[in-house]
Structure 1
Amino acid sequence: MTVPATTIHPVLLTAEEAAKMLRIGRSTLYQLLAERELASIKIGRSRRIRPADVEAYIERQATNVV
């Protein structure tokens, strides 16, 4: 039995996927990673972001609204 690709949820996102999720540019995402505003893990030379960390970042930004 195969699972349709639309139902598979990745455990980790690439920088490009996380940027697309946040609707920001890749360089802006890397800036957030460098400033430790958004958590990530390093696997070899690659950075990966957990979807939960993207959601946590969004929640923190939502609570910082004036």
Structure 2
Amino acid sequence: MTASTELLTVPQVMERLQLGRSAVYDLLRSRQLASITIGRARRIPSHALADFIHTRLDQEAAA
């Protein structure tokens, strides 16, 4: 798997963003952070996390 197609777990995203579980699930629920569901498991493509970060940086720069 290349870095662009790597699937991250919620705990991995929590660690990378330094956020709690509820905060990550809030981002997923509000569709600010894209994810896929495989069975009962939620996975976040690494490119979706990168897109989220870039979008937030752009929003902060525009404010």
- 2:6 and 2:20 map into 1 onto residues whose CA distance is 21
Letter in 2 for 1:48: R
Q: 1:49 aligns with which of 44, 49, 52?
A: 44
Please provide the CA RMSD for this pair.
1.7
The structure with the greater share of residues assigned to strand is: 2
Query: Using the alignment, how far apart are the partners of 1:26 and 1:52 within structure 2?
Result: 20
More helix by share: 2
Gaps of 5+ in 2: none
TM-score (normalizing by structure 2): 0.85
Deviates more, 1:9-18 or 1:33-42: 9-18
Larger radius of gyration: 1
Identity %: 38
Runs of 4+ in 1 over 6 A off after TM superposition: none
State the distance in 2 between where 1:49 and 1:57 align: 11
**TM-score, structure 1 normalization:** 0.82
1:37 to 14, 32, 39: 32
Between the two structures, name the one with larger relative contact order (CA 8 Å, sep ≥ 6): 2
Deviation at 1:13, TM superposition (A): 0.6
Separation of aligned partners in 2, 1:20 and 1:34: 19
